[in-house]
Amino acid sequence: MKTIGIVTDGMSKLEYFLNENIESIFMDKVKINNYYFKNLKSNQLIRDDVILVMLDDRALKIKKYVDDTKKIIKINRSIKQKEIYKLFSLPEGIDALVVNDNMQTTLETISNLYSIGINHLNFIPYNKDKEYKDIRVAITPGESSLVPDYIDEIIDLGHRYIDSSTFIQIMAKLKIDDRDITRRLIKYSDEVVSLESGINSTYKKLSIKNEELDSIINLSNIGMVLISTKGEIIICNDSLKRILDIEYDVVGKNIHELESKNIVDIFTIDEASDEVIKFKNKYINVNKYTIDSFGKNTGIYFCIQEITYIKKLEQNLSKKLRDKGQIARYNFEDIKTNSISLKNTKELAKKISKSDYTVLITGESGTGKELMAQSIHNESLRRNQPFIAINCAAMPENLLESELFGYEEGAFTGALKGGKKGLFEQAHNGTIFLDEIGDMPMYLQTKLLRVIQENQVMRVGGESIIDIDVRIIAATNRNLLSMIECEKFRSDLYYRINVLPISIPPLRERKEDIIMMLKYFMKRKIEISEDVKRVMESYDWPGNIRELKNTAMYIDIMSSGDRVELYDLPHNFINIKKDYSKEIKILKEKVSIEKIIRVMEIIKEYNLLNKSIGRNYIVNELHDQGYTISEGEVRTILSVAKVYNKKSNLQED
């Protein structure tokens, strides 16, 4: 244990007072030894860690009795705050006799009073050989018995307490860094007027900051330990102790003194950058950093996390992002295909992923455009950043604008307090997927073009410009070129987004995928009859993979045998016995939609009346309505319509 030696002239009340004063701060953390000048032997050496004396001349006198003069500290004393107030009751400018046991301590007391700011009185040092008849008041620090009788009023300030600056010096010399001692000293410095208020307040501020830092470090779930170059543990937080199952105090210990060899192994590891280490029955992630101060290595810092904790964080984060639709779940491996053309598209997309250019994915609805966009994001360098998807067709125009670009507080009625970040801001450093871009209104297209050109957004109702770094992937099932012709899509935006085009073929153009994917999506792995295969391959698949996925789900529920038969299929497949794709194509190309609708309306009317009609009748009926239609056109329409309406009363004449 560290020791403090107190050297006084002889046994006195003062000696007890100092002992108590020191013990009130250090408690049982130090041992106090008392010495008296008059008893010191000529060859005696005081070896305490700190040696305290009361006066400057005693500091000189003690030199020859100590093994190291650097240990000597002269005690500075000050007055308790509450005693000082007594002095303020004295009128300004009056003479006050200051009485202490000798001239040196008397002058010291006067100097103390001045340095703590008592300067409204005229202090007269007491000399016992003189008489002070005109003086009415005496001030004394606990020596009232020495005040001459003729003085009317005595203000006894009580014994002077050790100044907190002296305690700071003692702590520094003893190399004591103890939270409890610091706390007691801070409280003490509030009671005893400080002579060195500058040092004290800095010390106080630093100590409070230390406390705050300590609390913050201990609140962290990450295990932290700071070790000096000599291997001494300087800081160790509660999480580190919990993670490494340490149940004793390690601060101040050398790492080689630690009880567990496993822990010593971790702290003596050469290098660790996200190193996963098995510790007892758990896995921990270890990172080691060297601390440099002014270019000099001053220690090492370990940051240790439990893998289960990291996993939990990851799960929480991805759940949050998923809830908000901000995560890309799919990769290129999720894009199943046997088709050469889609395989080539996949390869192209993989190459494109690595760049930061804008991508335009075209393809019919349900062909996998979003799947492709997510895969590109997950293959890119932005994979750990947000992936924000928005369907431009699914939102009213003004909402789409504020969703994309955000808004400032008060931008419109109902705007949130503090405004709102737009999706471009949310996607910062990541990717934004603008689905159905063909449905974006023209004025937003203009705004989007500016964002792409300048990499900056301005919130609705805002004036400041926000820099963003976002990769754009756009998708559409529309023919943007013909939209440009009809002035429904800006050509400059088209060329900006069509930097890297990807086109996904519809399912009917990759028949080799149909049965493979049907099996892939079906949960019940059962045989598929040849009839079903034929029907599926001749079907048009307007909803592409999404429709195929739904069909697989339907079959899963409906089929009960060990083979999928025609009657297990949804009703839209059942009537197809023949490949009508040729007719549908002709129908689309040759007959105007208006004529088809007219023909269908006539058929519907006659169906309701339960009457049969022939081609000729339809030609004439339409003629009466002002349309010119040939019998051939009517035949095309009827042959297709029959497929979808088995029960119709159409005559095939």
Ligand X SMILES: Nc1ncnc2c1ncn2[C@@H]1O[C@H](COP(=O)(O)OP(=O)(O)OP(=O)(O)O)[C@@H](O)[C@H]1O
Residues that bind ligand X (CB under 6 A): 334-337, 363, 365-371, 435, 477, 545-546, 549
Cβ-based neighbours of 560, under 8 Å, separated by 6 or more: none
DSSP-H helix ranges across 354-396 = 369-379
Strands 153-156 and 137-140, sheet pairing:
parallel
Least distance from ligand X to the Cβ atom of residue 539, Å: 16
CB 373 within 8 A of CB 362: no
Two tokens, residue 454 = 């300048």
Q: Is 300 or 545 the residue whose CB approaches ligand X more closely?
A: 545
Strand partners, 286: 275, 304
Q: How far apart are CA 265 and CA 647, in angstroms?
A: 83
Q: How far apart are CA 263 and CA 355, in angstroms?
A: 45
Q: What is the SS3 string spanning 261-319?
A: HHHHHHHCCCCCCCEEEEECCEEEEEEEEEEEECCEEEEEEEEEEEHHHHHHHHHHHHH
Q: Is 104 or 550 the residue whose CB approaches ligand X more closely?
A: 550
Q: Is 48 or 435 the residue whose CB approaches ligand X more closely?
A: 435
Least distance from ligand X to the Cβ atom of residue 505, Å: 11
Least distance from ligand X to the Cβ atom of residue 604, Å: 30
Residue with smallest beta-carbon separation from ligand X: 368
Least distance from ligand X to the Cβ atom of residue 502, Å: 11
Q: How far apart are CA 58 and CA 104, in angstroms?
A: 12
Nearest by Cα to 500 from 631, 639, 392, 350:
350
Q: Is 416 or 553 the residue whose CB approaches ligand X more closely?
A: 553
CB 409 within 8 A of CB 450: no
DSSP-H helix ranges across 220-272 = 238-243, 261-267
Least distance from ligand X to the Cβ atom of residue 476, Å: 8
Q: How far apart are CA 318 and CA 313, in angstroms?
A: 9
Strands 527-528 and 563-564, sheet pairing:
parallel
Q: Is 549 or 635 the residue whose CB approaches ligand X more closely?
A: 549
Cβ-based neighbours of 318, under 8 Å, separated by 6 or more: 327
Q: Is 30 or 518 the residue whose CB approaches ligand X more closely?
A: 518
Nearest by Cα to 356 from 467, 466, 451, 473:
473
Least distance from ligand X to the Cβ atom of residue 620, Å: 42
Two tokens, residue 628 = 């010119």
Cβ-based neighbours of 521, under 8 Å, separated by 6 or more: 548, 549, 552, 553
Least distance from ligand X to the Cβ atom of residue 475, Å: 6
Cβ-based neighbours of 6, under 8 Å, separated by 6 or more: 15, 18, 19, 22, 32, 33, 34, 35, 52
Least distance from ligand X to the Cβ atom of residue 412, Å: 29
Q: How far apart are CA 50 and CA 253, in angstroms?
A: 23
Q: Is 171 or 522 the residue whose CB approaches ligand X more closely?
A: 522
Amino acid at 642: K
| Cβ neighbour number for residue 337 with a 10 Å cutoff | 19
388 DSSP assignment: E
Please provide residue 436's backbone torsions phi and psi, each rounded to the nearest 5 degrees. 55, 50
Region class of 319: left (phi > 0), else alpha (psi between -120 and 50), else beta: alpha
Please give the sequence-ordered ranges of beta strands (E in DSSP) within 422-484, or none if there are none.
Answer: 431-435, 456-457, 466-467, 471-476
Q: Is 341 or 620 the residue whose CB approaches ligand X more closely?
A: 341
Least distance from ligand X to the Cβ atom of residue 305, Å: 34
Least distance from ligand X to the Cβ atom of residue 364, Å: 7
Q: Is 182 or 337 the residue whose CB approaches ligand X more closely?
A: 337
Cβ-based neighbours of 631, under 8 Å, separated by 6 or more: 615, 616, 619
Q: At what angle do helices 197-219 and 164-174 cross, to 10 degrees?
A: 60
Q: Is 334 or 397 the residue whose CB approaches ligand X more closely?
A: 334
Q: How far apart are CA 306 and CA 245, in angstroms?
A: 12
CB 609 within 8 A of CB 625: no
Q: Is 97 or 555 the residue whose CB approaches ligand X more closely?
A: 555
Least distance from ligand X to the Cβ atom of residue 330, Å: 7
Please provide residue 288's backbone torsions phi and psi, each rounded to the nearest 5 degrees. -120, 135
Q: Is 516 or 641 the residue whose CB approaches ligand X more closely?
A: 516
Q: Is 196 or 435 the residue whose CB approaches ligand X more closely?
A: 435
Least distance from ligand X to the Cβ atom of residue 219, Å: 42
Least distance from ligand X to the Cβ atom of residue 315, Å: 22
Least distance from ligand X to the Cβ atom of residue 377, Å: 13
Q: Is 40 or 483 the residue whose CB approaches ligand X more closely?
A: 483
Q: How far apart are CA 125 and CA 629, in angstroms?
A: 130
Q: Is 301 or 332 the residue whose CB approaches ligand X more closely?
A: 332
Least distance from ligand X to the Cβ atom of residue 616, Å: 42
Which helix H or strand E contains 289, and what residues bound it? Answer: strand 282-293
